[in-house]
Each structure stands twice: as structure tokens, then as C-alpha cells.
Amino acid sequence: MSDLLFEKDGAIATLTFNRPKRLNAISVPMLEAFSERLLEYDRDPEVRVIVLTGAGRGFCSGLDLQDAAAGTGIGGGNLDANFDLRRAPPSVLHAVDKPTICALNGPAAGYGMDLALGCDIRIAGASAKLAATVTRRGVLPESGGTWLLPRMVGWAKAAEVIFTGRTLSAEQCLELGLVNQVVPDEVLMSETRAVAKEIAANAPLAIQAAKRMMRMGLSEQFDDHVHHVFLQLLPLFRSKDFREGLLAFVEKRKPRFEGQ
């Protein structure tokens, strides 16, 4: 069975890490397939939301240290300075325009924690944990964590979590604002799909444009940003979805957006 499962149900695509006996530790084939599927779903006009989760009792325990120690995995001597980071999952995950939701089932450590933080929304099961344990292994959060965490919780809290290699419970993650909500484990996927369906019911072009602008706004001055927002707004005004949204409002009904 594949290390990465993927399915598309209407407007919702789901990617599932599938090495449950290894707590979904990341393998080289898993990384390659993950980036390819993300890009495929980002191009697919039928997909409006991408859900990321893990099989079994954990989300992702990070890079496979057993493979690395054997010299066959990431960190096992097979990477060099010419490695194409633009195709690496954290970079692709950051760049896709489709909304991404992490259904955080159980522990997410190291690389897995960075991938969870890289999603737009995180819904955690009660048993979920975020573990910044990489400094206990002699490395740093190599997959976006040092960029993401300070922006989410501030410098001091990010420093505390990373420098101590601390593991955060689901409730601690909620308190810090690292997850949007915590739900019982048994309803995690149903609650995640409910949020995904709510997003998918809105105008997909508008959502994707909003995500692009939020991403750009992280590094722009205000004046530059509002100019770029205006340029995104012009084609939306000419879209069928904009006319449908206005008509639905006037007719007091739910809009039926087509992504056009």
C-alpha cells in the first residue's frame, strides 16, 4: 500500500500519510508524492479545499530517523546544497492557493509539526500533540518552523518552544493559537469535513485570491499591499461568481459558485 493515500470527494481532496506502524514517519517516496499531489490538486478546478491528515494513531512523527541512520532516508547523507527546495513539501504547501486544513490526529513532531503549521487551518483531536523535538536530535526545525512559529505565537514563545524541544498538548496548542479548535478524536474527520464544506461553498476564486494576498501581506508594506489587492479585485468583479453572489443576495438564497 502506498505511503501516501489520496482521495477526492466532490470539492474536498484528502491526503493521508500512510505509514501507521512508523507513526507516519516521512519517507523519500512520501515526500515526492506529496508535492506532486499538492500541485495536482492546486491545478484541479474541481478541488476547493485540501485536507491533510495521518493514518492510525499519529499525524506524522517527522523524518524517518531509522531510514536516515541506514543512509537511505532524508538526512542520511543523500542531500546536498543543490537540493531543490522549491519542490519540497513545505515550500509547495506554502505556495498553493487552495485552502489547506490539517486534521491533527495524534502527535506531530519535527517535520510533521512544520507541515501541520504550514496548513491554513488546524483542527486537533484531543490526543493531538505538537512536538518541537528536533533540537533534541541535533538539528533545527528545517521545514518552515523557524519562519512559521514566531509569526504565530511571537518571538519569545517560539523561542521557548523550539529551544526547549517542548511537546505541546492539544489544549496548550489551542491556548497559544496554534490550532483553531480541539474536538474529540472520534469526530475529528467529520468536524474537519464540516469546516471544509463550509469553505468549499464560498466563491473559490475569491478565497484563493484572499489567500494569495494574505501570504504576500506577510512581507509587504501596507501601501504596496492594498495596491496588489486592488489588482486582484478587478478580475473578480468581472467573474461569474461575483454576479452570482450579488444575485443570490438579492434573491435571498444560497449562491451556487462555479469558480468562474
DSSP 149-162: HHHHH-HHHHHHHH
Predicted confidence at residue 86, as pLDDT, reads 73
> Residues 228-251: what's their mean pLDDT?
95
Predicted confidence at residue 144, as pLDDT, reads 87
Predicted confidence at residue 159, as pLDDT, reads 95
Predicted confidence at residue 64, as pLDDT, reads 74
Instruction: Give Cα 138 to chain centroid, integer Å.
Output: 25
125-147 in b/e form (b: 16+ CB < 10 A) is bebbbbbbbbbeeeeebbbbbee
**Dist. CA 88–CA 254, nearest whole Å:** 39
Residue 131 phi/psi, 5° resolution?
Answer: -120, 110
Tell me the three cell numbers of residue 33.
Answer: 508524492
Domain extent listing, the chain = 4-200, 204-251
Confidence of residue 260 (pLDDT cuts 50, 70, 90): very high
CATH match for 4-200 among 3.90.226.10, 2.60.120.1090, 3.30.365.10, 3.40.50.880: 3.90.226.10
Closest CA to 105 of 184, 215, 201, 38: 184
Predicted confidence at residue 148, as pLDDT, reads 95
3-state secondary structure 66-85: HHHHCCCCCCCCCCCCCCCH
Tell me the three cell numbers of residue 222.
Answer: 501596507
165-177 in b/e form (b: 16+ CB < 10 A) is eeebebeebbebe
